[in-house]
Structure 1
Amino acid sequence: MGVDAFENATDVLVTQNTLRKNNALQESLSKRFRRLLSGDPDGVPPWLEVIAAGDDAGFFLPTDAPWVVHADFGTLVGGIRALLMQALHPGSLTGVKNHSRYESDPLGRLAGTIRWLTVTTFGSKTAVMNEASRVNRLHTRVTGEYTTGAGERIPYKAADQDLLLWVHIAFMESFLVAHEEFAWRPIPKGSASTGADNYVSQWSVSVAPLGLEKVPMTRAEMDQTIMDVYHAGLLIRSEDTLQVVEFIRNPPLPGLAKPIYNLLFNAAVISLKPQFRELLGLKAKPRWLIRPLTRGILRFMRTAIGPESPIEDGAIARLRRVGALT
């Protein structure tokens, strides 16, 4: 073997060894990330099998707006923002405080929310209906009374149309805004005027199985609905609000996750409307700093974890098996 051939062979071996190390690191980081979000010690989301199984297509394809938005890492900011938006409404706030395990098992509650979002986005229609039934059963236990911003005492059930609507638009607007601010994949607009309108319209089907009958179908309608609730004086800042917000600000996360979470929290704060930040008692860090830092860290996380997505892969395999994709 000549010198050049030997050096080339050595370069190949070094490259292969480096790739193996990088793949091992990506797999380790990916497993830790999935373990944190799913609560599964092996990092395998327990709903992966639900999404991969089934003999029918779901509500969405990979080219649809909800699939694109919810597959992106901008959802990490959107999820935090959605919790802050929900905390503004005393009905949803009281339901979370009195009927959820957000303090005793915050990651478990997070996993439950992620399960509904993920199954509804990527699962078969049969899986979506089963998941909606699970959520509806949980909702039957969530009842009580809350005080509006105008001081009126109102009895509530989790299945009330106004509460379902607020939770829906809080999630929908938050994921949309977070994607626009911090993600990079364009939102498909389909036959709608914009990608945002397409997302709002397409995602409307997600709440029909939960019993919500009338929802915004465009971005303008969604924004108007949010402001209607605000101007009606229904939103409030109370001691309970501040307590929940402080918990969202400082959840009991593993040490290495805290600096990244702190950045994502600040990203969620800067994306809120000023009047909502004020109600929540939050101050925004400089936008010129937080936005590029957040976009950079989300890109880094995507690169570090790797391009593979077991959830998307499972959904696509099912879609191909049932003939919905070629």
Structure 2
Amino acid sequence: MGRFIDSWRSHLLVTLSGNSDGRPKWVEQIATGDDPGFFGPGSAAWAVHGGMATMVAGIRALLMQTLHPGAMAGVHDWSRYHEDPLGRLSGTIQWLVTVTFADTVVAERESGRVAHFHDRVAGSYIDARGEERSYAAGDPELLSWVHVVFTDAFLQSHLLWDDAIPGGADGYVREWAIAGELIGVQDAPHSADELAAQLEAFRSAGTLKSDARVADAVRFIRYPPLSRGMLPFYNIMFAGAVASIPREYRDMLGLKRSRLPVIWGTRLVLGVVRALLGPTSTSEDAALDRIARIERAQQLGHPSEP
């Protein structure tokens, strides 16, 4: 049993961070810098993105993103998710964690990296009305859609499976609007009500659609190339993510809520993961080290050394 647990923990760390010790190379930059960052300890962003529910939130966000044909075209045309799914996952995690825990300079630099990648992502797609439209990853509509479904997924997952959020749901949405603005999102929601209204606006306007591309992406998310030992746990979290999605979107995705108690089962799996990985992440630890260094330097009356 001990060997199985060690193996499963190693597989989990590689999946989430790219290496078996759970400390990817980019964590080192989180320890550098001279300010607490855009959020800091005790913030809503730290609470949500440092929680275990992020594992389910990522699944929900990926599923929801597929419903915008422009966003789906960008993934289909430019992403190598079939060939390198963990590479794409790692890139997304890097941006999320860096903006959350790094100092402001590093967070802005990481957001610039993402925006620069978006510069070359362009093409055309057939919209929900059957008309051909051009797209670019930096289009305001696409940036808004990705930000809204991302924020909604992480918020709703945390409310279902994790502890209270400092400042509540409004606090998280308001804080994470900063991250959206860093990559060019216009009119990012600043409250839970605004978030819900913007999400509903995409649906009621007839912008979203389901087609063969969506079905292929959903199938890939449903059956990712994970190790055999991780699949049973992933299957439960996938079912939990599906159960957390409102029915109108589940129907578009061609997914049905399981009749089994998957919300409870997901909570159990996340508890196991928390026991294996510990209460804090290497990224949060690096951020706390940076902040402690800054505070020591301030007490001594001289600038901190990065």
TM range (shorter): over 0.9
Tell me whether 1:153 sits opposite 2:125 in the alignment. Answer: no
Aligned to 1:36: 15
**Deviation for aligned residue 1:307:** 2.7
What is the identity, as a one-letter code, of the residue corresponding to 2:130?
G
Cα distance, 1:26–1:247 mapped onto 2, change above 3 Å: closer
Aligned to 1:203: 176
What is the identity, as a one-letter code, of the residue corresponding to 1:74?
A
Cα distance, 1:249–1:29 mapped onto 2, change above 3 Å: closer
Deviates more, 1:51-60 or 1:252-261: 51-60
> Secondary structure at 1:144's aligned position in 2?
strand
**Unaligned stretches of 5+ residues in structure 2:** 300-306
Q: For residues 249-270 of structure 1, what are the alpha-carbon distances to aligned partners after superposition, in whole Å with 9 as ceiling and x for unaligned?
A: 0010111111111111111100
Instruction: Tell whether the 8 Å contact from 2:10 to 2:20 is kept in structure 1 after alignment.
Output: no
What is the identity, as a one-letter code, of the residue corresponding to 2:210?
R
Instruction: Tell whether the 8 Å contact from 1:52 to 1:317 is kept in structure 2 after alignment.
Output: yes
> In the alignment, which of 244, 268, 289 is matched to residue 296 of structure 1?
268
> Secondary structure at 2:135's aligned position in 1?
strand
In the TM superposition, 1:74-89 aligns within 5 A as 74-89=53-68
Q: For residues 143-200 of structure 1, what are the alpha-carbon distances to aligned partners after superposition, in whole Å with 9 as ceiling and x for unaligned?
A: 01112212222111100111000000110000001111122x11011xxxxx001110
Q: For residues 117-136 of structure 1, what are the alpha-carbon distances to aligned partners after superposition, in whole Å with 9 as ceiling and x for unaligned?
A: 00010111111111011111
Give TM-score, length-normalised by structure 1: 0.87
What is the identity, as a one-letter code, of the residue corresponding to 2:166?
P
CA–CA separation in structure 1 for the residues paired with 2:272 and 2:84: 29
Instruction: Tell whether the 8 Å contact from 2:11 to 2:227 is kept in structure 1 after alignment.
Output: no
CA–CA separation in structure 2 for the residues paired with 1:83 and 1:53: 31
Tell me whether 1:60 sits opposite 2:39 in the alignment. Answer: yes
**Unaligned stretches of 5+ residues in structure 1:** 1-20, 190-194
Deviates more, 1:25-34 or 1:159-168: 25-34
In the TM superposition, 1:89-104 aligns within 5 A as 89-104=68-83
Aligned to 1:270: 243
**Deviation for aligned residue 1:44:** 2.3
Segments of 4+ in structure 1 off by > 3 A?
24-32
**Deviation for aligned residue 1:29:** 5.6
Q: For residues 30-83 of structure 1, what are the alpha-carbon distances to aligned partners after superposition, in whole Å with 9 as ceiling and x for unaligned?
A: 544222112235542121101111222211112110110010010000000000
CA–CA separation in structure 1 for the residues paired with 2:106 and 2:229: 34
Sequence identity (%) = 41
Instruction: Tell whether the 8 Å contact from 2:45 to 2:172 is kept in structure 1 after alignment.
Output: yes
Tell me whether 1:235 sits opposite 2:208 in the alignment. Answer: yes
What is the identity, as a one-letter code, of the residue corresponding to 1:146?
Y
Give the count of matched residue pairs: 298
Instruction: Tell whether the 8 Å contact from 1:26 to 1:305 is kept in structure 2 after alignment.
Output: no
Aligned to 2:230: 257
Cα distance, 1:199–1:280 mapped onto 2, change above 3 Å: same
> Secondary structure at 2:178's aligned position in 1?
helix
State the superposition RMSD in angstroms.
Answer: 2.1
Tell me whether 1:175 sits opposite 2:147 in the alignment. Answer: no
Cα distance, 1:114–1:160 mapped onto 2, change above 3 Å: same
**Deviation for aligned residue 1:323:** 2.6
In the TM superposition, 1:44-55 aligns within 5 A as 44-55=23-34
CA–CA separation in structure 1 for the residues paired with 2:145 and 2:244: 18
What is the identity, as a one-letter code, of the residue corresponding to 1:66?
A
> Secondary structure at 2:295's aligned position in 1?
coil
Instruction: Tell whether the 8 Å contact from 1:40 to 1:46 is kept in structure 2 after alignment.
Output: no
CA–CA separation in structure 1 for the residues paired with 2:243 and 2:133: 32
Aligned to 2:290: 318
> Secondary structure at 1:256's aligned position in 2?
coil
CA–CA separation in structure 2 for the residues paired with 1:216 and 1:310: 30
What is the identity, as a one-letter code, of the residue corresponding to 2:234?
Y
CA–CA separation in structure 2 for the residues paired with 1:152 and 1:222: 28
Cα distance, 1:320–1:31 mapped onto 2, change above 3 Å: farther
